[in-house]
Amino acid sequence: MMQFWIKTGISALLIAGISELSKRSPLMGGLLASLPLTSLLAFIWLYLETRNTNQVAQLSTSIFWLVIPSLLLFIVFPFLLKRQMPFLPALLLSCTLTALAYSGTLVILQKLGILK
């Protein structure tokens, strides 16, 4: 249980740090947020808990393919905000479109046998 709280604390500090840094410099906040820090942490936690490099490799492959539909959020959300759509509707619409992109991507990747 202690390991869970350590993981939670480190993850929360990372998110809070990005938020605080973004107040001072959106570019630097974006740089830190764009680094695959959460993926690296997930690789480390998974490996430490399972010692299974196969699972870590599968996680890495899944992340690679699923980054592609996630990019839609970063295109649609600022597009809507710049066109004066209120924050919450823009966020909800962006998330909905991204979720649909994830669903479509998963179906395609599963049919191609890339992801299981």
Mean pLDDT by 10 residues, the chain (116 residues): 87 90 91 87 93 96 93 97 98 98 96 87
> Is the overall model pTM greater than 0.85, yes or no?
no
- The pLDDT, as a whole number, for residue 33 is 86
**CA 45 from centroid of its chain's CA atoms:** 16
- The pLDDT, as a whole number, for residue 80 is 98
Please state the three-class secondary structure of 14-31 as a single string.
Answer: HHHHHHHHHHHCHHHHHH
- The pLDDT, as a whole number, for residue 34 is 86
Q: Return the amino acid letter for 54.
A: N
Closest by CA position to 38, among listed 20, 19, 12: 12
- The pLDDT, as a whole number, for residue 66 is 92
- The pLDDT, as a whole number, for residue 3 is 84
3-class SS at 1?
A: coil
Which phi and psi angles does 36 have, rounded to 5°? -80, 45
Closest by CA position to 116, among listed 38, 52, 58, 37: 58
